Amino acid sequence: ETGVTQSPTHLIKTRGQQVTLRCSSQSGHNTVSWYQQALGQGPQFIFQYYREEENGRGNFPPRFSGLQFPNYSSELNVNALELDDSALYLCASSLAHSRNTEAFFGQGTRLTVV
Amino acid sequence: KNQVEQSPQSLIILEGKNCTLQCNYTVSPFSNLRWYKQDTGRGPVSLTIMTFSENTKSNGRYTATLDADTKQSSLHITASQLSDSASYICVVSVEDSSYKLIFGSGTRLLVRP
């Protein structure tokens, strides 16, 4: 186990609804990144949070937003859900003092939009 | 455009055999290259991480190589086991402020008895 936990593990939502996914980072890690992984594809970078500030964003629309809390846990919020948002959402935590630092992934949240 | 391409897309081998997976990347500026193993529906687990100055790195039966000049990497699996069945993903880290990881689409490996 990596020490990174995500909740919930599975979720079914209706198109147009909003969803919040949660991630608890590994102890001592101050950076959390979120990724979207469609079936059969590699993960795509959504955004990263470092010490409660967004620190980089991928090619995702503004309806994807996030938060990082003082204990470095994080949330991913998606508004106005679309069918194509169905995917495995992964969070990864790391200690961002070095670019060669290891990133540890949670088990993911499987989101299905119907 | 930053891209990571892997081949083959899928591979079937018999238990006990060796195999080699390939990765080509066009990521700049390059920071490091990682190989991850991902079981279906689970998060990726790190196997190796190499900077541009490292040519090879091993982790048990897994050996990764890196040629920073040709921007190619390989992952060699020795004496495969049934538990090696998974997707193997090549990941390149971008040398900028966001520590962004660029993932390949993975090679799906199936080891048969």
Among candidates B41, B46, B95 on the partner chain, residue whose Cβ is nearest the Cβ of A99: B95
Residue, of A50 and B72, whose pLDDT is higher: B72
Nearest alpha carbon to residue B109 among B61, B55, B58: B61
Rounded CA-CA distance B49/A101 in Å is 9
Output the pLDDT for position B64.
Answer: 97
How does residue B82 score in pLDDT terms, banded at 50, 70 and 90? very high
Cα angle: A9, vertex A13, A15; to 5 degrees: 145
Most confident of A57-61, A63-67, B99-103: A63-67
pLDDT attached to residue B77: 98
Closest alpha carbon to B21 in B73, B61, B94, B70: B73
Residue of B nearest to A91 (CA): B43
Strand pairing report for A74-78 and A64-68:
antiparallel
- Cβ separation B41–A43 shorter than 8 A: no
Kindly state the average pLDDT of the residues B30-59. Answer: 91
A96 touches chain B (CB under 8 A): yes
> What is the distance between the alpha carbons of residues B89 and B104, in angstroms, rounded to a whole number?
6
Identify which has the larger pLDDT, B80 or B102. Answer: B80
Q: The tokens of B31 are what?
A: 């920071």
Least confident among A48-57, B78-87, B101-110? A48-57
Cis bond before residue B8 (omega within 30° of 0): yes
B2 touches chain A (CB under 8 A): no
- Measured between beta carbons, the chain B residues lying within 8 angstroms of A102 are 46, 49
Q: Does A40 touch chain B (CB under 8 A)?
A: yes
Q: Is A106 on the interface with B (CB under 8 A)?
A: yes
* Confidence band for A56, pLDDT divided at 50, 70 and 90: confident
Q: Give B103's contacts (C-beta < 8 A, 6+ positions apart).
A: A35, A42, A43, A44, B4, B89, B90, B91
Position A4 confidence tier, pLDDT thresholds 50, 70, 90: very high
Distance CA B86, CA A57 (A): 29
| The predicted structure's pLDDT at residue A26 | 87
Arithmetic mean of pLDDT, B65-91: 96
Residues of A in contact with B31 (CB under 8 A): 99-100
Mean pLDDT to the nearest integer, B27-44: 89
pLDDT confidence of residue A101: 75
Q: Is the pLDDT of residue A84 over 60?
A: yes
Query: Which of A50, A47, A86 is CA-nearest to residue A66?
Result: A47
